[in-house]
Structure 1
Amino acid sequence: MSPRKSAAEALGTRSAILDRSVAIASLEGLEGLTIGRLAGELGMSKSGVLGHFGSKEALQLAVLDRAADIFLAEVWVPARPAAPGLHRLRELCEAWISYLDRGVFPGGCFFVAAAHEFDGREGPVRDAIEARFDGWRGRLRKEARRAAEAGDLPVGTDAEQLAFELLGLIMALNHSIQLHRDPEAAGRARRAVHARLSG
Protein backbone atom coordinates (compact mmCIF):
# COMPACT_ATOMS: atom_id res chain seq x y z
CA MET A 1 0.00 0.00 0.00
CA SER A 2 1.43 3.38 -0.95
CA PRO A 3 1.77 6.12 1.69
CA ARG A 4 -0.57 8.30 -0.39
CA LYS A 5 -3.30 5.64 -0.42
CA SER A 6 -2.83 4.97 3.28
CA ALA A 7 -3.20 8.68 4.12
CA ALA A 8 -6.31 8.95 1.93
CA GLU A 9 -7.86 5.94 3.65
CA ALA A 10 -7.11 7.42 7.07
CA LEU A 11 -8.79 10.68 6.06
CA GLY A 12 -11.78 8.73 4.77
CA THR A 13 -12.06 6.81 8.02
CA ARG A 14 -11.77 10.00 10.08
CA SER A 15 -14.47 11.61 7.93
CA ALA A 16 -16.79 8.62 8.43
CA ILE A 17 -16.26 8.80 12.19
CA LEU A 18 -17.07 12.52 12.19
CA ASP A 19 -20.17 12.08 10.04
CA ARG A 20 -21.56 9.46 12.41
CA SER A 21 -20.53 11.50 15.43
CA VAL A 22 -22.37 14.58 14.18
CA ALA A 23 -25.54 12.55 13.65
CA ILE A 24 -25.35 11.08 17.16
CA ALA A 25 -24.44 14.35 18.86
CA SER A 26 -27.24 16.20 17.07
CA LEU A 27 -29.79 14.02 18.83
CA GLU A 28 -28.04 12.94 22.02
CA GLY A 29 -25.52 15.68 22.70
CA LEU A 30 -21.77 15.78 22.56
CA GLU A 31 -21.62 13.81 25.81
CA GLY A 32 -23.63 11.09 24.06
CA LEU A 33 -20.57 10.32 21.98
CA THR A 34 -18.67 7.34 23.31
CA ILE A 35 -15.69 5.68 21.71
CA GLY A 36 -17.25 2.26 22.30
CA ARG A 37 -20.50 3.18 20.58
CA LEU A 38 -18.74 4.66 17.57
CA ALA A 39 -16.48 1.65 17.29
CA GLY A 40 -19.46 -0.70 17.35
CA GLU A 41 -21.51 1.25 14.82
CA LEU A 42 -18.59 1.68 12.43
CA GLY A 43 -17.18 -1.82 12.80
CA MET A 44 -13.91 -0.58 14.25
CA SER A 45 -11.90 -1.20 17.38
CA LYS A 46 -11.99 1.37 20.17
CA SER A 47 -8.28 2.01 19.68
CA GLY A 48 -8.92 2.48 15.97
CA VAL A 49 -11.47 5.22 16.66
CA LEU A 50 -9.42 6.83 19.42
CA GLY A 51 -6.30 6.79 17.26
CA HIS A 52 -7.85 9.37 14.93
CA PHE A 53 -8.47 11.89 17.72
CA GLY A 54 -6.53 10.99 20.84
CA SER A 55 -9.27 11.76 23.39
CA LYS A 56 -13.02 12.20 23.70
CA GLU A 57 -12.56 15.95 24.11
CA ALA A 58 -10.56 16.14 20.88
CA LEU A 59 -13.33 14.17 19.16
CA GLN A 60 -15.94 16.60 20.48
CA LEU A 61 -13.94 19.56 19.20
CA ALA A 62 -13.54 17.92 15.78
CA VAL A 63 -17.31 17.27 15.69
CA LEU A 64 -17.95 20.95 16.41
CA ASP A 65 -15.68 21.85 13.49
CA ARG A 66 -17.54 19.46 11.18
CA ALA A 67 -20.93 20.80 12.31
CA ALA A 68 -19.70 24.35 11.74
CA ASP A 69 -18.63 23.47 8.21
CA ILE A 70 -22.12 22.11 7.51
CA PHE A 71 -23.78 25.17 9.04
CA LEU A 72 -21.67 27.57 7.00
CA ALA A 73 -22.36 25.62 3.80
CA GLU A 74 -26.08 25.75 4.50
CA VAL A 75 -26.43 29.31 5.78
CA TRP A 76 -23.43 31.49 4.91
CA VAL A 77 -22.56 30.19 1.44
CA PRO A 78 -26.05 30.78 -0.05
CA ALA A 79 -26.17 34.31 1.39
CA ARG A 80 -22.61 35.39 0.65
CA PRO A 81 -23.26 36.52 -2.95
CA ALA A 82 -25.94 38.97 -1.78
CA ALA A 83 -25.07 42.65 -1.56
CA PRO A 84 -23.62 43.50 1.87
CA GLY A 85 -25.98 45.05 4.37
CA LEU A 86 -29.74 44.62 4.49
CA HIS A 87 -30.02 42.37 1.45
CA ARG A 88 -27.39 39.96 2.77
CA LEU A 89 -28.90 40.08 6.26
CA ARG A 90 -32.27 39.06 4.82
CA GLU A 91 -30.66 36.27 2.80
CA LEU A 92 -28.79 35.04 5.88
CA CYS A 93 -32.01 34.88 7.85
CA GLU A 94 -33.85 33.06 5.06
CA ALA A 95 -31.06 30.49 4.70
CA TRP A 96 -30.96 30.11 8.49
CA ILE A 97 -34.71 29.49 8.70
CA SER A 98 -34.53 27.06 5.79
CA TYR A 99 -31.69 25.16 7.46
CA LEU A 100 -33.88 24.53 10.50
CA ASP A 101 -37.08 23.94 8.55
CA ARG A 102 -35.41 21.28 6.38
CA GLY A 103 -33.92 19.48 9.38
CA VAL A 104 -30.33 19.53 8.16
CA PHE A 105 -29.37 18.12 11.57
CA PRO A 106 -31.84 15.57 12.93
CA GLY A 107 -31.83 17.22 16.34
CA GLY A 108 -32.34 20.78 15.11
CA CYS A 109 -29.71 23.47 15.33
CA PHE A 110 -26.52 21.70 16.38
CA PHE A 111 -25.10 24.74 18.11
CA VAL A 112 -28.24 25.67 20.05
CA ALA A 113 -28.31 22.12 21.42
CA ALA A 114 -24.58 22.18 22.19
CA ALA A 115 -24.92 25.55 23.93
CA HIS A 116 -27.67 24.21 26.20
CA GLU A 117 -25.50 21.20 26.99
CA PHE A 118 -22.32 23.11 27.82
CA ASP A 119 -23.27 26.67 28.76
CA GLY A 120 -22.91 26.02 32.50
CA ARG A 121 -19.57 24.25 32.20
CA GLU A 122 -15.95 25.23 31.79
CA GLY A 123 -13.34 23.98 29.36
CA PRO A 124 -12.27 23.87 25.71
CA VAL A 125 -15.54 22.47 24.35
CA ARG A 126 -17.63 25.17 25.99
CA ASP A 127 -15.15 27.81 24.80
CA ALA A 128 -15.34 26.49 21.23
CA ILE A 129 -19.14 26.66 21.27
CA GLU A 130 -19.05 30.21 22.62
CA ALA A 131 -16.53 31.22 19.94
CA ARG A 132 -18.85 29.90 17.20
CA PHE A 133 -21.75 31.93 18.58
CA ASP A 134 -19.57 35.01 18.97
CA GLY A 135 -18.41 34.71 15.36
CA TRP A 136 -21.92 34.34 14.04
CA ARG A 137 -23.28 37.19 16.15
CA GLY A 138 -20.41 39.29 14.83
CA ARG A 139 -21.43 38.49 11.24
CA LEU A 140 -25.05 39.51 11.95
CA ARG A 141 -23.88 42.67 13.70
CA LYS A 142 -21.59 43.59 10.80
CA GLU A 143 -24.35 43.27 8.21
CA ALA A 144 -26.80 45.16 10.45
CA ARG A 145 -24.29 47.99 10.85
CA ARG A 146 -23.75 48.15 7.09
CA ALA A 147 -27.50 48.30 6.52
CA ALA A 148 -27.90 51.08 9.06
CA GLU A 149 -25.03 53.08 7.58
CA ALA A 150 -26.57 52.72 4.12
CA GLY A 151 -29.89 54.07 5.39
CA ASP A 152 -31.69 50.76 4.78
CA LEU A 153 -32.61 50.46 8.44
CA PRO A 154 -34.04 53.21 10.65
CA VAL A 155 -31.71 55.89 11.97
CA GLY A 156 -30.34 54.89 15.34
CA THR A 157 -30.63 51.16 14.72
CA ASP A 158 -28.51 49.35 17.32
CA ALA A 159 -26.67 46.63 15.41
CA GLU A 160 -25.84 44.69 18.58
CA GLN A 161 -29.47 44.73 19.66
CA LEU A 162 -30.66 43.62 16.22
CA ALA A 163 -28.18 40.71 16.18
CA PHE A 164 -29.39 39.72 19.67
CA GLU A 165 -33.02 39.74 18.52
CA LEU A 166 -32.33 37.72 15.38
CA LEU A 167 -30.45 35.10 17.40
CA GLY A 168 -33.36 34.92 19.83
CA LEU A 169 -35.85 34.58 17.01
CA ILE A 170 -33.99 31.65 15.49
CA MET A 171 -33.64 29.96 18.87
CA ALA A 172 -37.41 30.29 19.30
CA LEU A 173 -37.89 28.76 15.84
CA ASN A 174 -35.63 25.84 16.74
CA HIS A 175 -37.61 25.32 19.95
CA SER A 176 -40.95 25.43 18.12
CA ILE A 177 -39.82 22.91 15.52
CA GLN A 178 -38.05 20.50 17.86
CA LEU A 179 -40.25 20.58 20.95
CA HIS A 180 -43.66 21.53 19.60
CA ARG A 181 -43.39 20.16 16.04
CA ASP A 182 -45.17 23.34 14.96
CA PRO A 183 -45.68 23.22 11.16
CA GLU A 184 -46.30 26.97 11.14
CA ALA A 185 -43.08 27.87 12.92
CA ALA A 186 -40.97 28.65 9.85
CA GLY A 187 -43.67 30.90 8.45
CA ARG A 188 -43.95 32.74 11.75
CA ALA A 189 -40.18 33.21 11.81
CA ARG A 190 -40.17 34.59 8.27
CA ARG A 191 -42.88 37.09 9.15
CA ALA A 192 -40.99 38.15 12.26
CA VAL A 193 -37.76 38.66 10.28
CA HIS A 194 -39.62 40.64 7.62
CA ALA A 195 -41.16 42.90 10.25
CA ARG A 196 -37.87 43.44 12.06
CA LEU A 197 -35.87 44.13 8.90
CA SER A 198 -38.36 46.42 7.22
CA GLY A 199 -36.67 49.71 6.55
Structure 2
Amino acid sequence: MSPRHSAAEAARTRERIIERGLDLASVEGLEGLTIGRLAAGLGISKSGLLGHFGTKQALQLAALERAAVIFNAEVWRPAAGAAPGLPRLRAVCEAWISYLARGVFPGGCPFVSSTFEQDGRSGPVRVLLQRQFHAWNRRLTAEVRTAVANGGLPRGTDPAQLVFELYGVMMSLNHAIQLHGDDAATTRATTAVTRLLPREGPTARPVRPASGGKPAR
Protein backbone atom coordinates (compact mmCIF):
# COMPACT_ATOMS: atom_id res chain seq x y z
CA MET A 1 0.00 0.00 0.00
CA SER A 2 1.37 3.41 -0.94
CA PRO A 3 1.98 6.09 1.74
CA ARG A 4 -0.84 8.18 0.25
CA HIS A 5 -3.31 5.29 0.50
CA SER A 6 -2.09 4.50 4.01
CA ALA A 7 -2.70 8.10 5.08
CA ALA A 8 -6.16 8.11 3.51
CA GLU A 9 -7.07 4.86 5.23
CA ALA A 10 -5.81 6.19 8.55
CA ALA A 11 -7.91 9.35 8.10
CA ARG A 12 -11.02 7.28 7.36
CA THR A 13 -10.43 5.11 10.41
CA ARG A 14 -9.98 8.20 12.58
CA GLU A 15 -13.27 9.58 11.25
CA ARG A 16 -15.06 6.34 12.07
CA ILE A 17 -13.66 6.40 15.58
CA ILE A 18 -14.77 9.99 16.18
CA GLU A 19 -18.24 9.44 14.71
CA ARG A 20 -18.83 6.28 16.72
CA GLY A 21 -17.32 7.85 19.83
CA LEU A 22 -19.56 10.89 19.57
CA ASP A 23 -22.70 8.77 19.16
CA LEU A 24 -21.65 6.71 22.17
CA ALA A 25 -20.89 9.83 24.22
CA SER A 26 -24.37 11.23 23.51
CA VAL A 27 -25.83 8.11 25.16
CA GLU A 28 -23.25 7.12 27.76
CA GLY A 29 -21.48 10.42 28.37
CA LEU A 30 -17.86 11.23 27.70
CA GLU A 31 -16.78 8.88 30.46
CA GLY A 32 -18.45 6.08 28.52
CA LEU A 33 -15.82 6.44 25.80
CA THR A 34 -13.65 3.55 26.96
CA ILE A 35 -10.95 2.43 24.57
CA GLY A 36 -11.92 -1.23 24.86
CA ARG A 37 -15.64 -0.72 24.28
CA LEU A 38 -15.12 1.59 21.33
CA ALA A 39 -12.52 -0.68 19.73
CA ALA A 40 -14.80 -3.70 20.06
CA GLY A 41 -17.72 -1.82 18.54
CA LEU A 42 -15.63 -0.78 15.55
CA GLY A 43 -13.96 -4.14 15.10
CA ILE A 44 -10.43 -2.82 15.58
CA SER A 45 -7.79 -3.57 18.17
CA LYS A 46 -7.19 -1.45 21.27
CA SER A 47 -3.67 -0.78 20.08
CA GLY A 48 -5.01 0.34 16.71
CA LEU A 49 -7.39 2.78 18.34
CA LEU A 50 -4.68 4.06 20.69
CA GLY A 51 -2.49 4.63 17.66
CA HIS A 52 -4.95 7.30 16.51
CA PHE A 53 -5.61 9.03 19.83
CA GLY A 54 -3.18 7.75 22.42
CA THR A 55 -5.42 8.40 25.42
CA LYS A 56 -9.07 8.39 26.39
CA GLN A 57 -8.86 12.12 27.08
CA ALA A 58 -7.61 12.83 23.56
CA LEU A 59 -10.60 10.91 22.21
CA GLN A 60 -12.99 12.87 24.44
CA LEU A 61 -11.56 16.17 23.23
CA ALA A 62 -11.83 15.08 19.60
CA ALA A 63 -15.46 14.07 20.15
CA LEU A 64 -16.30 17.47 21.66
CA GLU A 65 -14.60 19.29 18.80
CA ARG A 66 -16.60 17.29 16.28
CA ALA A 67 -19.81 17.89 18.22
CA ALA A 68 -19.19 21.64 17.90
CA VAL A 69 -18.74 21.35 14.13
CA ILE A 70 -22.01 19.42 13.78
CA PHE A 71 -23.89 21.79 16.10
CA ASN A 72 -22.68 24.77 14.08
CA ALA A 73 -23.81 23.12 10.84
CA GLU A 74 -27.22 22.16 12.27
CA VAL A 75 -28.05 25.28 14.28
CA TRP A 76 -26.02 28.29 13.25
CA ARG A 77 -25.51 27.78 9.54
CA PRO A 78 -29.25 27.50 8.66
CA ALA A 79 -29.89 30.78 10.51
CA ALA A 80 -26.82 32.73 9.42
CA GLY A 81 -28.57 34.18 6.38
CA ALA A 82 -31.39 35.73 8.41
CA ALA A 83 -31.33 39.44 9.17
CA PRO A 84 -29.18 40.25 12.22
CA GLY A 85 -30.99 40.68 15.51
CA LEU A 86 -34.44 39.32 16.27
CA PRO A 87 -34.99 37.50 12.92
CA ARG A 88 -31.68 35.67 13.28
CA LEU A 89 -32.33 34.86 16.93
CA ARG A 90 -35.66 33.33 16.01
CA ALA A 91 -34.09 31.39 13.14
CA VAL A 92 -31.36 30.09 15.46
CA CYS A 93 -33.92 28.91 18.00
CA GLU A 94 -36.03 27.23 15.32
CA ALA A 95 -32.97 25.38 14.05
CA TRP A 96 -31.94 24.54 17.62
CA ILE A 97 -35.34 23.05 18.39
CA SER A 98 -35.25 21.08 15.12
CA TYR A 99 -31.77 19.78 15.93
CA LEU A 100 -33.00 18.39 19.26
CA ALA A 101 -36.35 17.14 17.96
CA ARG A 102 -34.83 15.26 15.01
CA GLY A 103 -32.41 13.37 17.22
CA VAL A 104 -29.25 14.26 15.33
CA PHE A 105 -27.44 12.26 18.02
CA PRO A 106 -28.95 9.01 19.36
CA GLY A 107 -28.73 10.13 22.99
CA GLY A 108 -29.63 13.77 22.51
CA CYS A 109 -27.32 16.75 22.50
CA PRO A 110 -23.86 15.66 23.73
CA PHE A 111 -23.24 19.13 25.14
CA VAL A 112 -26.17 18.75 27.53
CA SER A 113 -25.05 15.36 28.83
CA SER A 114 -21.42 16.49 29.01
CA THR A 115 -22.35 19.59 30.99
CA PHE A 116 -23.94 17.54 33.77
CA GLU A 117 -21.15 15.00 33.64
CA GLN A 118 -18.40 17.60 33.98
CA ASP A 119 -19.99 19.35 36.96
CA GLY A 120 -17.44 19.40 39.77
CA ARG A 121 -14.66 18.06 37.56
CA SER A 122 -11.51 19.75 36.36
CA GLY A 123 -9.11 19.28 33.48
CA PRO A 124 -8.85 19.83 29.72
CA VAL A 125 -12.25 18.33 28.86
CA ARG A 126 -14.08 20.70 31.20
CA VAL A 127 -12.00 23.63 29.94
CA LEU A 128 -12.88 22.87 26.31
CA LEU A 129 -16.56 22.45 27.16
CA GLN A 130 -16.57 25.80 28.96
CA ARG A 131 -14.87 27.48 26.02
CA GLN A 132 -17.43 26.07 23.60
CA PHE A 133 -20.34 27.23 25.73
CA HIS A 134 -18.80 30.67 26.18
CA ALA A 135 -18.35 31.03 22.41
CA TRP A 136 -22.00 30.14 21.78
CA ASN A 137 -23.12 32.42 24.60
CA ARG A 138 -21.19 35.34 23.08
CA ARG A 139 -22.77 34.72 19.69
CA LEU A 140 -26.29 34.69 21.10
CA THR A 141 -25.61 37.71 23.30
CA ALA A 142 -24.34 39.69 20.32
CA GLU A 143 -27.57 38.96 18.44
CA VAL A 144 -29.68 40.05 21.42
CA ARG A 145 -27.78 43.33 21.60
CA THR A 146 -28.31 43.86 17.89
CA ALA A 147 -32.03 43.17 18.33
CA VAL A 148 -32.20 45.77 21.10
CA ALA A 149 -30.24 48.31 19.06
CA ASN A 150 -32.47 48.00 15.99
CA GLY A 151 -35.71 48.00 17.95
CA GLY A 152 -36.58 44.32 17.69
CA LEU A 153 -36.46 43.93 21.47
CA PRO A 154 -37.22 46.46 24.24
CA ARG A 155 -34.41 48.78 25.30
CA GLY A 156 -34.45 47.42 28.83
CA THR A 157 -33.78 43.84 27.71
CA ASP A 158 -30.97 42.20 29.68
CA PRO A 159 -29.00 40.15 27.10
CA ALA A 160 -27.50 37.82 29.70
CA GLN A 161 -30.92 37.09 31.20
CA LEU A 162 -32.55 36.43 27.84
CA VAL A 163 -29.76 34.09 26.74
CA PHE A 164 -30.02 32.30 30.10
CA GLU A 165 -33.73 31.74 29.52
CA LEU A 166 -33.21 30.51 25.96
CA TYR A 167 -30.67 28.00 27.26
CA GLY A 168 -33.26 26.89 29.80
CA VAL A 169 -35.81 26.21 27.07
CA MET A 170 -33.39 24.07 25.08
CA MET A 171 -32.12 22.17 28.12
CA SER A 172 -35.72 21.42 29.10
CA LEU A 173 -36.55 20.31 25.57
CA ASN A 174 -33.62 17.89 25.46
CA HIS A 175 -34.63 16.51 28.87
CA ALA A 176 -38.30 16.11 27.91
CA ILE A 177 -37.45 14.29 24.68
CA GLN A 178 -34.70 12.04 25.99
CA LEU A 179 -36.06 11.14 29.43
CA HIS A 180 -39.81 11.33 28.93
CA GLY A 181 -40.35 10.94 25.20
CA ASP A 182 -42.74 13.87 25.45
CA ASP A 183 -44.44 14.37 22.08
CA ALA A 184 -45.63 17.82 23.13
CA ALA A 185 -42.17 19.05 24.12
CA THR A 186 -41.31 20.57 20.73
CA THR A 187 -44.53 22.58 20.68
CA ARG A 188 -43.94 23.74 24.24
CA ALA A 189 -40.41 24.85 23.40
CA THR A 190 -41.63 26.74 20.34
CA THR A 191 -44.29 28.47 22.45
CA ALA A 192 -41.68 29.45 25.03
CA VAL A 193 -39.36 30.89 22.38
CA THR A 194 -42.22 32.85 20.82
CA ARG A 195 -42.91 34.46 24.19
CA LEU A 196 -39.26 35.38 24.65
CA LEU A 197 -38.74 36.48 21.04
CA PRO A 198 -42.00 37.96 19.73
CA ARG A 199 -42.43 38.01 15.98
CA GLU A 200 -43.15 41.72 16.02
CA GLY A 201 -40.67 43.99 17.76
CA PRO A 202 -41.86 46.40 20.46
CA THR A 203 -41.29 49.40 18.22
CA ALA A 204 -43.62 48.16 15.49
CA ARG A 205 -46.14 50.78 14.43
CA PRO A 206 -49.38 50.42 12.43
CA VAL A 207 -49.19 51.66 8.88
CA ARG A 208 -50.90 55.02 8.57
CA PRO A 209 -52.92 55.79 5.46
CA ALA A 210 -51.82 58.57 3.16
CA SER A 211 -53.45 61.95 3.66
CA GLY A 212 -57.10 61.73 2.71
CA GLY A 213 -56.98 57.98 2.40
CA LYS A 214 -58.81 55.33 4.42
CA PRO A 215 -57.24 52.67 6.59
CA ALA A 216 -56.73 49.38 4.81
CA ARG A 217 -59.03 46.59 5.90
Measure the CA separation in 2 of the matches of 1:103 and 1:120: 28
Counterpart in the other structure of 1:167? 167
Structure-2-length-normalised TM-score: 0.89
Measure the CA separation in 2 of the matches of 1:108 and 1:36: 23
Displacement after TM superposition at 1:155 (Å): 1.5
Measure the CA separation in 1 of the matches of 2:27 and 2:112: 12
Counterpart in the other structure of 2:207? none
Measure the CA separation in 2 of the matches of 1:81 and 1:7: 37
Counterpart in the other structure of 2:50? 50
CA-to-aligned-CA distance 1:74-94 (integer Å, 9 cap, x gap): 101111111111111000000
Equivalent residues of 1:60, 1:125 under 8 A apart: yes
Measure the CA separation in 2 of the matches of 1:99 and 1:14: 25
Counterpart in the other structure of 1:191? 191
Equivalent residues of 1:89, 1:140 under 8 A apart: yes
CA-to-aligned-CA distance 1:175-195 (integer Å, 9 cap, x gap): 111112110111111111111
Matched, 1:142 2:142: yes
Displacement after TM superposition at 1:2 (Å): 2.1
Counterpart in the other structure of 1:9? 9
Q: Which protein has the larger Cα radius of gyration, Structure 1 or Structure 2?
A: 2
Measure the CA separation in 1 of the matches of 2:17 and 2:109: 20
Which runs of structure 1 show a deviation greater than 4 angstroms over 4 or more consecutive aligned residues? none
Equivalent residues of 1:86, 1:143 under 8 A apart: yes
Counterpart in the other structure of 2:206? none
Counterpart in the other structure of 2:208? none
Counterpart in the other structure of 1:72? 72
Equivalent residues of 1:137, 1:167 under 8 A apart: no
Aligned sequence identity (%):
63
Give the aligned length: 199
Counterpart in the other structure of 2:209? none
CA RMSD of aligned residues (A): 0.9
Counterpart in the other structure of 1:182? 182
Displacement after TM superposition at 1:95 (Å): 0.2
CA-to-aligned-CA distance 1:145-169 (integer Å, 9 cap, x gap): 0000001101211111111110111
Counterpart in the other structure of 1:110? 110
* Partner SS for 1:51: helix
Measure the CA separation in 2 of the matches of 1:46 and 1:167: 38
Counterpart in the other structure of 1:152? 152
Equivalent residues of 1:39, 1:45 under 8 A apart: yes
- Counterpart amino acid of residue 87 in structure 2: H
Measure the CA separation in 2 of the matches of 1:84 and 1:8: 40
Structure-1-length-normalised TM-score: 0.97
Q: Within 5 A, what are the aligned runs for 1:13-92?
A: 13-92=13-92
